[in-house]
Amino acid sequence: MQQPYASPHAGPDTGQPRGTRGRILVVDDDPTVAEVVSGYLDRAGFAVDRAADGPAALALAAAHRPDLVVLDLMLPGMDGLEVCRRLRESGPVPVVMLTARGDEDDRILGLEVGADDYVTKPFSPRELVLRVESVLRRARPAVPRGSLGAAGLTLDPGARRATKNGSDLALTLREFDLLAFFLRHPGRAFGREDLMREVWGWDFGDLSTVTVHVRRLRGKVEDDPARPRLIQTVWGVGYRFDPTGDHGKADD
């Protein structure tokens, strides 16, 4: 069984100069965890800033806007949920949340406030680096595609901008990618496993992640999220985007 925390000097070395892959802010009050995570990210080619509490994290983010934040849920004083909310107020930034708990409610809370991914402690630092790389790949599409649109929704993948009836939508990274996927495949039903593979790029994971993101996305694109007409539940299968808005189901 792989040890959850190893020496940062054992981390994978990509051979890339430090900092060339972006800036990561690691926020964790456990100095051992922070050192190990920072060491792995550093050796993977990222510039890393560290903070042990919420106020310090917000100050660092204001001084040097990170490309991604690795954020512990359980912080002294201001918890990770509040830090995530405040980070979002100053602009979009991908967040990978860490939690020491196995309780599903904690994971869902992190996703509800806009975290793009989460990792439950104890974790493999190598897995965390892979999650960070996956989120950043989604945040920086290599080849911008043409605009997408249907049912009053318009997405510009290159600019990462989404509108509904001309008004901007405040979508997180995963919400944007999920809506873009639906718009590219109107009328087709996809299981949660399919969406996790196609949108998140994972072959395995907690499927409640998909459920939470669908619910959040409905809250932003549906006229009545309690009676969704665009993102419909297909019983026994998963979800389908219907640009005509007919026969929607309210349940997840």
**Number of DSSP helices (H) and strands (E) in the chain, helices first:** 8, 12
Domains in the chain, ordered, with CATH? 8-139 (3.40.50.2300), 148-241 (1.10.10.10)
**What pLDDT does 11 receive?**
46
What are phi and psi for residue 238, nearest 5 degrees?
165, -110
pLDDT averaged over 10-residue windows placed end to end, the chain, 252 residues: 41 54 92 92 93 93 92 88 84 82 66 77 85 80 67 85 89 87 92 88 74 91 91 92 69 54
Give the DSSP H/E element, type plus range, for residue 117: strand 117-120
**What pLDDT does 205 receive?**
65
10 Å Cβ neighbour count for 227? 11
pTM (predicted TM-score): 0.64
**What pLDDT does 150 receive?**
86
